[in-house]
Amino acid sequence: MTITTPQEAFWAGQFGNDYVERNQDPRWIDWNTAYYTKLLAKMAPPASILELGCNRGLNLHALKRLYPATAFSAVEINAQAAAHVRRDLPHVDLHHTSILEFQPARQWDLVFTNGVLIHLAPEALPKVYALMARASARYVMISEYYNPTPVEVTYRGHEGRLFKRDFAGEFLDAHPDFKLVDYGFVYHRDPTMHPDDMTWFLMEKKAS
């Protein structure tokens, strides 16, 4: 694996390891099940799903509940997180590499990120948008912190590690062959959802 940005090194290293151990509350699977039920309500059941940046697999656990017959693949840069996925989710086709280095050899019905684009180097985003568009056979879902204009936020005392912007808008501008299908906001005080404020966008390839 080749590391080309400070953000990749951050998540592949000790901070990423600590994050893996910090996020092991089993309630996340229930919260995520409710979350994805809402997010994907207007999507046809996918035969295959690719998650970019799966960490220890809490999203994949929830999606497996919703789509037990679906074939899952994932990309994860952190070795400790990847080990959890291999142990707990052996059905997942896991690629232990950087999203910026990943070269898909196929397409998936749904390609998505959840809280991952916010942590990537902003200059790398066009490459990731292109990857998502290329890897998707039908749907792309982006679930991230939103801001109408790009802004950097201090993250646990670190600078240059969290960025908010209109990720979906940038994706749609760069890839006009996709259209917006649904979008929404989840509030951290909703007791049925995970304790965070997230904005999500479901997009679909236009019929050719």
Determine the pLDDT at residue 195.
84
**Average pLDDT in the 123-150 region?**
98
- Range from 48-52, 82-86, 187-191 carrying the lowest mean pLDDT: 187-191
Q: Which CATH superfamily is domain 6-205 in?
A: Vaccinia Virus protein VP39 (3.40.50.150)
Average pLDDT, the chain: 97
Residue 125: pLDDT over 90: yes
Note whether 203 and 182 are within 8 A (CB): no
> How many angstroms separate the CA atoms of 108 and 101, rounded?
18
Report pTM.
Answer: 0.97
Determine the pLDDT at residue 194.
80
Task: Give the chain's largest Cα–Cα span.
Answer: 47
Determine the pLDDT at residue 192.
86
Domain ranges (residues) in the chain? 6-205
Note whether 145 and 199 are within 8 A (CB): yes
User: Tens of pLDDT along 150-185?
Assistant: 999 999 999 999 999 999 999 999 999 999 999 999
Which of 94, 96, 98 is CA-nearest to residue 116? 98
Confidence band for 24, pLDDT divided at 50, 70 and 90 = confident
Determine the pLDDT at residue 182.
98
How many H helices and E strands in the chain? 7, 9
Share of the chain above pLDDT 90, in %: 92
Residue 26: pLDDT over 90: no
**Average pLDDT in the 66-84 region?**
98
Phi and psi, residue 34, nearest 5°: -65, -40
Which of 145, 186, 195, 189 is CA-nearest to residue 39? 186
